[in-house]
Amino acid sequence: MPASSDDVADTDVPPVLLLLHGGGPGVDAESNWASVRPRLSTGFRCLAPDLLGFGAQIAGSDGIEGPRAWALARARQVLDLLDREGLERVRLVGNSAAGGAAALALLAMAPDRVERAVVMGGAGTGPLPPSVPFYDDPTKQSMRTTLGRLVADESAHVELLDKLADVRLRQALRPGAESAFRSMFADVDGPPPIDLAKIATPVLALHGECDRVSPVEVSARLVDSLPDARLNVVAGAGHWIHVDRPDEFCSLVGEFLSS
């Protein structure tokens, strides 16, 4: 039987890819994914929301405290977005301690809504940092230093880092941004963490070989705890794999999410 016009039209609709940004001070979705979103958009319909506590979502995030509570709140935010957009199932990329942790929480909370997921930089499953980045010294130089740690070789990204330092400094100093950010790192007692062993969704964990924020071992432990996951260590990349190795990042993401 020949395909109907509706069947043909359906095959022309690209799959939806949800891009969840990282958790650095002053981050937003637009700046986080600028290096790779145009290429990813050739194969996917990309949605990249500002997550709670960042960008346009600072207001209304009062009262959330600790990494687990933030991950769950962001997972609920993403579910609300999917419902508003009428999306039953999506592919997903979650970056580091904000987007990655939210991705894992979403996979545990609503496993039927995500077909496959990529998480980066340990997805927030490592220990809390010894100090809160940037806000103890909220200057442009401090922001520039904070951003420099995210790439493997700062000299390869001088212009980008200088530009981002200006953008993120302005955003990090918005009313409410500091208190929201500090609460994300609060070491508070609470319910047990997400049971990773019950997440059945296929997951690809990407980790930069030269990551100065989170060691590769964090992603290795994460993959060992997930039933259907594998680790790809990207040679020559720092925490920002998508900035250091954008072509390789897009190829790995595209191949995994399309398989």
Residue range 210-224, pLDDT digits in tens: 999 999 999 999 999
What SS3 class is residue 137?
coil
Say how many residues make up the chain.
Answer: 259
* Average pLDDT over every residue of 127-149: 94
Residues 230, 17, 250, 221, Cα dihedral to 10°: -20
* Average pLDDT over every residue of 171-187: 94
Domain range summary for the chain, segments of one domain joined by +: 5-258
247: number of CA atoms within 13 Å, CB side?
A: 1
* Average pLDDT over every residue of 224-240: 98
Query: Would the pLDDT of 1 be above 90?
Result: no
* Average pLDDT over every residue of 131-144: 95
Question: Rounded CA gap, 205 and 177, in Å?
Answer: 29
* Average pLDDT over every residue of 166-183: 96
What lies within 8 Å, CB to CB, of 89 at 6+ separation is 112, 113, 114, 115
The H or E element spanning position 148 is helix 140-148
Q: Is 166 a catalytic residue?
A: no
Q: Confidence band (pLDDT; 50, 70, 90) for 59?
A: confident
Q: Which of 157, 239, 242, 244 is catalytic?
A: 239
What SS3 class is residue 86?
coil
Q: Is pTM, for the whole model, over 0.85?
A: yes
CB atoms within 10 A of CB 149: 15
Question: Rounded CA gap, 135 and 138, in Å?
Answer: 5
- Cβ distance 187 to 132 under 8 Å? no
Q: Which of 31, 61, 96, 142 is catalytic?
A: 96
Question: Rounded CA gap, 255 and 259, in Å?
Answer: 6
Q: Is 96 a catalytic residue?
A: yes
pLDDT value for 71? 96
CB atoms within 10 A of CB 185: 18
Sheet strand arrangement including 114-120? 45-47, 16-20, 90-95, 114-120, 203-208, 229-234
pLDDT value for 189? 65
pLDDT value for 214? 96
Q: Which of 57-71, 188-202, 206-220 has the highest mean pLDDT?
A: 206-220
Tokens of residue 196, six digits: 């990773």
Q: Which of 35, 61, 207, 211 is catalytic?
A: 211
What is 5-258's CATH topology? Rossmann fold (3.40.50)
Radius of gyration of the chain (CA): 18
* Average pLDDT over every residue of 191-206: 90
Do strands 45-47 and 90-95 pair parallel, antiparallel, or not at all (unpaired)? unpaired
Query: Would the pLDDT of 11 be above 80?
Result: no
- Cβ distance 121 to 113 under 8 Å? no
Query: Would the pLDDT of 192 be above 70?
Result: no
Tokens of residue 9, six digits: 């039209």
Q: Is 179 a catalytic residue?
A: no
* Average pLDDT over every residue of 104-124: 97
pLDDT value for 223? 98
- Range in 18-22, 50-54, 183-187, 203-207 the model is least confident about: 183-187
* Average pLDDT over every residue of 49-55: 97
Token pair 């496993």: residue: 111
What is the pLDDT of the chain when averaged over all its residues? 93
What SS3 class is residue 25?
coil
